[in-house]
Amino acid sequence: MLFQKLVFELLVPIYTKSFILYTNEDILCKGANSLSISSRFSVGIHILSLLEINKGGVSSSDFIAKSVNTNPVVIRKIIGMLKNAGLVNVRPGIAGAEPARDLSEITLLDVYKAVNVVQEKALFSVHESPNPACLVGRNIQDTIGPLFSEAQLAMEKSLGNVTVEDVVKDILKRES
């Protein structure tokens, strides 16, 4: 254990100096980068749309994975979350999933909440432990919190205005 730790500490510098090589493209990426909400959300919407459009056939995780172009385990995990939220029916051992209710009664907000991409009131993070001896520091969190919540709710309200049925209709419309 101790030997391994010592060897590790000796080797890591070799690793970092030898193999973390930066190309010109890397260097172009200056400054801070930015976030995106997990594609679990878009994949979740996709799965539900596909279940509808493939209603005649059997939508196994393998079948869905080929459409989404990912690994079946990724699909099963997301379907598990959709099931947990009461949006789909699946049973162990039995191939295929189905929507648990009519797609006109499932909004994008339902999917968004099901796949847990953003916690309530936590889309924006606020720096922790500001200085309580500072007038700004001891008030900034309480001041910013409601403003951030409102912005997040505005985004979520927008998602609540669209159903998965709308998505399916738009897909079919684009196809013709």
Partner DNA sequence: TTTCATTGTAACTAATTTGATTACATGTAA
Partner DNA sequence: TTACATGTAATCAAATTAGTTACAATGAAA
Burial class (CB in 10 A: 0-12, 13-18, 19+), 70: middle
25: its two tokens: 């493209």
Binding mask 11-30 for its own copies (x = CB under 8 A): x--xx--xx-----------
- When binding is defined by CB under 7 A, the residue of 67, 83, 109, 160 that contacts DNA is 83
137 binds its own copies (CB under 8 A): yes
Chosen from DNA, ligand FES, its own copies, none, partner binding at 97 (C-beta under 5 to 8 Å by type): DNA
Least CB distance from residue 130 to ligand FES, whole Å?
A: 3
Burial class (CB in 10 A: 0-12, 13-18, 19+), 123: middle
Least CB distance from residue 81 to DNA, whole Å?
A: 9
DSSP 8-state class, residue 34: -
Dihedral angle, C-alpha 108, 113, 118, 119, nearest 10 °: 150
Binding site for ligand FES (CB under 6 A): 46, 50, 67-68, 127, 130-131, 134, 136-137, 140
